């Protein structure tokens, strides 16, 4: 894929595929996957993953054990998506509104202008805590800061049963 198109934004920036190398405008695959950038904040939840793309909310697409998964930054959960990159592309095309957050990316940009590089839309109230997928619950965040912040949430809830009341400890 990178030989054909070395990094790109699609669907009004709802989908971002990282380029192979970093530039002043973009974070490349190698740097994005550095443990010290944000991955180590997940305390093993991101182990063995090669992150290659993200949705408008900073939800990650990754390769692990030669299969493609989604990685939820709020929970650290991996969900199987496809057997390979071709299957991933087919999944994106067939379900782009859900897999990329396109409708909200479109609405946000109609109201606020184009999404800048290295920025994603994060929920004010985390989705995992019942935050709604609506414009009023979104704000523009730096991609690295967003991943680090949500790693804190993922680590606090990783061993909690579903439905339990959550009290977050926000660390800066």
What does the pLDDT read at residue 2?
58
Per-residue pLDDT, averaged over 61-65, amounts to 98
d(CA 55, CA 105): 10
Q: Which class for 123: exposed (0-12), middle (13-18), buried (19 or more C-beta within 10 A)?
A: buried
State percent of the chain over pLDDT 90. Answer: 80
143: phi then psi, degrees, rounded to nearest 5: -60, -40
What does the pLDDT read at residue 36?
95
Q: Report the predicted TM-score, pTM, of the whole model to 2 decimal places.
A: 0.90
Report residue 158's pLDDT band, with 50, 70 and 90 as the boundaries.
confident
């Amino acid at each position: 894929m990178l030989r054909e198109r070395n990094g790109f934004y699609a669907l009004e920036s709802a989908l971002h595929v990282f380029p192979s190398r970093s530039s002043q405008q973009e974070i490349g695959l190698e740097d994005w996957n550095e443990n010290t950038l944000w991955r180590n904040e997940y305390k093993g939840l991101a182990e063995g993953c090669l992150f290659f793309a993200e949705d408008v909310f900073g939800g990650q697409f990754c390769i692990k054990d030669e299969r493609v998964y989604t990685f939820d930054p709020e929970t650290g959960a991996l969900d199987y998506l496809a057997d390979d990159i071709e299957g991933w592309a087919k999944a994106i095309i067939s379900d782009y509104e859900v897999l990329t957050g396109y409708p909200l990316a479109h609405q946000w940009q109609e109201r606020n202008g184009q999404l800048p590089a290295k920025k994603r839309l994060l929920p004010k109230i985390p989705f995992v805590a019942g935050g709604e997928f609506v414009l009023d619950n979104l704000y523009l965040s730096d991609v690295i800061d967003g991943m680090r912040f949500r790693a804190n949430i993922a680590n606090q809830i990783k061993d909690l049963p579903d439905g339990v009341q959550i009290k977050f400890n926000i660390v800066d």
